[in-house]
């Protein structure tokens, strides 16, 4: 396949580029380096199946030649990033998704949207299944990311219904691993950097809020399974498509065209994670408690039954192993 990945120099995008190249696909990475880094993809540049475009996906998007798939991963994706770039976050979720969908339609390519567990907001249901509509404050500072992704999902489904585009939506839960940025504000990277530098580990609130962490290799494997999964309904007659467009056909939740959670269902408190990092780094840092940010989710845990059934996927890398690999990476970059 010939695949375009927007946000290709980011944490997840670069791992996707690498994994797809390892499977002999042709990959075009695209990034404007707002949060992505050239060094994430520098080792891929000699590969004859890889090319890179420095470009803003919110601008007019054109790629020479055929495409089999467009994977839209461009977006600030950590609390620090989308609080620093709120308008850019909203633009890439709206304009950027629109441009990427338009390119997929023009190339008759499969489209995969990187969405997020943040569409569930501060959930009142735990674990969160794909059928849960969420509990989001649209006007909070955090809401710029939540609503950008919710709009992106709505736009993607509209292209599927109106234009018959073969679309996929992955709702990504907390992910960690090499190539996370030291200052990105995410829980695991924050704790590891602070521990290695001998600084206090900053825990917000009392640390009882929960998170579920998936190692990046597991996540990438699930995303590729979703990309390559065959469409569940091959019908193309015009009347059927019009029935889908106007809601006269029941939505099949089990379809690969509807959102799929990809994440690790093992739920831990933030305080548990902090103590694990202190143990694995052998750090003498202490834990410092700070006020909980506004609308910070109290729980976060994916229901992955749909991914198990449709994609034959579930995470395989234990948290202890993933943390050790991530700590080793940060020791080389700090």
Cα angle 118, 211, 218; round to 5: 85
User: 77-93 pLDDT, tens per residue?
Assistant: 988 898 899 999 999 99
Contacts of 45 (CB under 8 A, 6+ apart): 52
Q: Which band of pLDDT confidence, cut at 50, 70 and 90, is reported for residue 244?
A: low
Residue 290 lies in a domain: no
Q: Name which of 108, 103, 139, 104 is nearest 121 in CA terms.
A: 139
**Contact at 8 Å (CB) between 137 and 121?**
yes
Residue 33 lies in a domain: yes
Residue 181 lies in a domain: no
Residue 254 is predicted with a pLDDT of 77
User: 39-63 pLDDT, tens per residue?
Assistant: 999 999 999 999 999 999 999 889 9
From the list 145, 159, 176, 215, the catalytic residue is: 145
Q: Which band of pLDDT confidence, cut at 50, 70 and 90, is reported for residue 136?
A: very high
**Contact at 8 Å (CB) between 37 and 4?**
no
Residue 280 lies in a domain: no
CATH number, residue 167: 3.40.50.720
| Tokens (6 digits) for 227 | 């990309």
The count of domains in the chain is 1
**Contact at 8 Å (CB) between 89 and 127?**
no
If you average pLDDT over residues 244-250, what whole number do you get? 56
Boundaries of domain holding 70? 2-176+214-263+301-315
User: 248-303 pLDDT, tens per residue?
Assistant: 554 567 789 999 999 999 999 999 999 999 999 999 999 999 999 888 899 999 99
- pTM value? 0.94
Helix, strand, or coil (residue 262):
strand
Residue 75 lies in a domain: yes
Residue 155 lies in a domain: yes
Residue 238 is predicted with a pLDDT of 61
d(CA 289, CA 88): 31
**Contact at 8 Å (CB) between 67 and 4?**
yes
Does pLDDT of 324 surpass 80? yes
Quick check: is 145 catalytic? yes
d(CA 8, CA 20): 12
**Contact at 8 Å (CB) between 307 and 261?**
yes
């Amino acid at each position: 396949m010939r695949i375009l990945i927007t946000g290709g120099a980011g944490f997840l995008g670069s791992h996707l580029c690498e994994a797809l190249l390892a499977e002999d696909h042709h990959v075009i990475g695209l990034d404007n380096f707002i949060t992505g880094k050239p060094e994430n993809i520098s080792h891929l540049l000699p590969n004859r199946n890889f090319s890179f475009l420095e470009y803003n996906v919110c601008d007019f998007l054109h790629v020479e030649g055929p495409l089999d798939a467009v994977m839209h991963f461009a977006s600030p994706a950590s609390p620090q990033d989308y609080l620093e770039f709120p308008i850019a976050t909203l633009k890439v979720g709206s304009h950027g998704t629109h441009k990427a969908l338009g390119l997929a339609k023009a190339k008759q390519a499969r489209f995969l949207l990187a969405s997020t567990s943040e569409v569930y907001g501060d959930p009142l249901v735990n674990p969160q299944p794909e059928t849960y509509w969420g509990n989001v404050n649209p006007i909070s500072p955090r809401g710029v990311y939540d609503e950008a992704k919710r709009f992106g999902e709505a736009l993607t489904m509209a292209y599927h219904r109106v234009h018959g585009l073969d679309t996929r939506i992955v709702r990504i839960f907390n992910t960690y691993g090499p190539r996370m940025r030291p200052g990105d504000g995410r829980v695991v990277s924050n704790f590891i950097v602070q521990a290695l530098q001998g600084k206090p580990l900053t825990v917000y609130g009392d640390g009882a809020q929960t998170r579920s962490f998936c190692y990046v290799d597991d996540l990438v494997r699930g995303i590729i399974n979703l990309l390559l999964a065959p469409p569940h309904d091959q019908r193309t007659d015009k009347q059927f498509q019009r029935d889908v467009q106007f809601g006269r056909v029941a939505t099949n939740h089990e379809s690969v065209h509807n959102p799929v959670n990809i994440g690790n269902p093992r739920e831990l408190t933030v305080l548990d994670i902090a103590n694990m990092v202190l143990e694995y780094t052998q750090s003498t840092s202490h834990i410092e408690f700070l006020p909980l940010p506004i609308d910070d989710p109290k729980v976060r845990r994916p229901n992955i039954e749909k991914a198990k059934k449709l994609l034959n996927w579930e995470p395989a890398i234990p948290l202890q192993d993933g943390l050790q690999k991530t700590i080793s990476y940060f020791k080389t970059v700090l």
